[in-house]
Structure 1
Amino acid sequence: MTLDLDAQDRAGHGELRVRAVVKRVRALHGGETVADSTSARLVCEPRRVVASYAVPESDVRAELVPHDGEPGGSDRPVLDPRVPFTVHTAPGEALSVRLGDGTLAEGAAFRLTDPEVAGLIVLDFGAFDWLDEDEPLVSHPRDPCHRIDVCRSSRTVRIERDGGLLAESSRAMWLFEGTFGWVRHYLPREDVAVPLVIDDSRPTFCAYKGRATYWSVPGDDPVLHRIAWSYEEPLHDAEQVRGLVCFFTERLDLSIDGTPVPRMWTPWAEPD
């Protein structure tokens, strides 16, 4: 019998996925401890691509109260990090967290009711400051089975928009990430054929790569708005792509060594 791990990963996205964590995990707010656990779990609700931390209710040091808001929902086939925490696809009870200063973090907790994980409280990563042991985290918990692999390549990467050259390089760094099934090409800025202007109004954060800075090609073409990004101060996993530019090739025309590459689908395939 052969087990296709890629197919197994894809099939599992429709289920509640849980993984044990061996680290001490803490959630803080204003320097006050909200949760402190050595029994945390990584939890991915159905269709979610990024995990949240869940801890035993006994490890939550703040008051949990019923959430008065309407339950969130989404018909998206994939719930990427832009879908708010309050959208839940697993059985459970939405909760708010009463913090030490009396304020309420609305909908920032979720009590799972699946019998196999009953008693676990999932916490909204964005509502708190998080530590793995004493290491600060950004964006979302780091999955021990997810890794970044960066390779130098002399293959020629050419990126176009409606026949117009945007960039071409035979010294790109190819970044492969986890089980995403796609590759990102990070190019030296000298190999970008068009001017780029920074758009830092809405930076994003990756738990493995750090803070992304976005770039636009000047002009009226909406596809070229925030069409590229770079990591100016990357986390250690992405040090090899420091300062290099990567384009959303799912919106553009990509060829490798002269051979066109079909556009891939990602949650970022449409301009934001």
Structure 2
Amino acid sequence: MATKLSELLFGAFPDLRYQPTAKRVRADFEGSPVVDTQEALLVWEPKRVTPVYAVREKDLLVRLRRPEAEGGSTEEHPFAWSTSGQTGLDPRTGFRRHTAPGEELDVVGSAFTAAHAAFRPSDPDLEGYVVLDFKAFHWLEDQEEIIGHPRDPFHRVDVRATLRRVEVMLDGVKLADTVGAQLLYETMLPVRYYIPPEDVRLDLLEASPRRTVCPYKGEARYWSLPGSERGKNIAWAYDSRFIDAQQIHGLVCFFDERADVAVDGELQPHPITPWS
């Protein structure tokens, strides 16, 4: 019997997962070295959709200790992947919300302490490794800065040009109309329609202070539709830091979880995602 690969991946979703990476991985805290290794692992705790780095304790350039303080609670952001009801933890859920057994640790350097920024899993396959809080440190793979979270080797982004007519409406207002969209296909996510700014009614939108980062596409700035609750931070565009995302640099995309998108006159369904 044939196996659908996405079902195979989701079948492991409740488990602690890891994958070795051949890349040289380094981290620092405001310039103070934390780790330098070529034996890092990518680790996904149960119900996590994005990986973090695990490194051998022997490769750490700092020391670990048991936490001196309890620390605050970690807000959880669950989400449903599909109508089947399978749930996971949105990446906004903090590092300290661990879903596998293990021990929390502080990371202590000569000039800093990163409280609760390490986790030693109680798993024989990860013996000798500690998982580090990505957001606590600045990261490099070889000579390239990594933002957001480590790139997932099983996650792919492809961009394809289309001549199909793409229209975007919200609350009865047409916000975009183009035959020059770029279609972005991303593993486990719905197709996104990136539209040239000259085909977007930017005069109807208001720049937002919101900024987010994506390890595959860069840093995004946002726009909102004034007077619309559904229109808050409804559209975004990425900067040009990553050359492998250059087909969408400066193009505008809309959350079709909330906006109405028609392709060649056919209204598309609203997808179910962490941004629904």
Take 1:2 and 1:198, find their aligned partners in 2: how far apart are those partners?
Answer: 48
5 Å-filtered alignment, 1:131-210, equals: 131-177=140-186, 179-193=187-201, 195-199=204-208, 201-210=209-218
Using the TM superposition, give the Cα deviation of residue 26 of structure 1 relative to its aligned residue in structure 2, in angstroms.
0.9
| Partner of residue 270, structure 2 | 263
| Aligned match of 1:223 | 230
Q: CA contact under 8 A between 1:112 and 1:119: conserved in structure 2?
A: no
- Name the structure 1 match of 2:94: 84
Q: What letter matches 2:128 in structure 1?
A: G
Query: CA offsets per residue over residues 64-100 of structure 1, 9 Å max, x none?
Result: 1223336747472222221111111111111111122
Distance 1:83 1:170, change over 3 A: same
Q: Quote the offset at 1:212 in angstroms.
A: 0.6
Query: What CA deviation, in whole Å up to 9, does each residue of 1:223-264 have, x standing for no partner?
Result: 111111001324112100111100011012122111121110
Please say if 1:248 is aligned against 2:258.
Answer: no
What SS does structure 2 have at the residue aligned with 1:266?
Answer: coil
Cα gap change, 1:71/1:63 in structure 2, threshold over 3 Å: closer, same or farther?
A: farther
Letter in 2 for 1:9: L
SS in 2 for 1:249: coil
Aligned with 1:238 (options 229, 245, 249) = 245
Residue type of the partner of 1:128? Answer: F
**Within 2, Cα distance between the matches of 1:207 and 1:232?**
12
- CA pair 104-238 structure 1, distance change in 2 beyond 3 A: same
AA partner of residue 254 (structure 1): V
Residue 23 of structure 1 corresponds to which residue in structure 2? Answer: 23
Higher RCO, Cα 8 Å, sep 6+? 2
Kindly indicate whether the alpha-carbon contact (under 8 Å) linking 1:113 and 1:119 is maintained by their aligned counterparts in 2.
no
1:47 — aligned with what?
Answer: 47
CA distance in 2, matches of 1:53, 1:134: 17
Q: CA deviation at 1:31?
A: 1.9
SS in structure 1 at match of 2:257: helix
The residue aligned with 1:127 is 136
Alignment-mate amino acid for residue 213 of structure 1: R
Q: 5+ residue gaps in structure 1?
A: none
> Quick one: distance in 2 between partners of 1:30 and 1:163?
48
CA RMSD in angstroms comes to: 1.7
Aligned pair in 2 of structure 1 residues 237, 80: CA closer, same or farther (>3 Å)?
farther
How many Å separate the matches in 2 of 1:88 and 1:245? 35
Equivalent residue for 2:126? 117
Give the Cα–Cα distance (whole angstroms) in 2 for the partners of residues 72 and 164 of structure 1: 39
Structure 2 unaligned segments of length 5 or more: list them: 79-86
Taking a change above 3 Å as real, the CA distance of residues 166 and 242 of structure 1, as seen in their structure-2 partners, is: same
SS at match of 1:9: helix
Tell me the matched-pair count: 265
Give the aligned partner of residue 110 of structure 2. 100
TM-score normalised by length of structure 2: 0.90
In 2, Cα distance between equivalents of 1:208 and 1:66:
35
Identity %, equivalent residues: 43
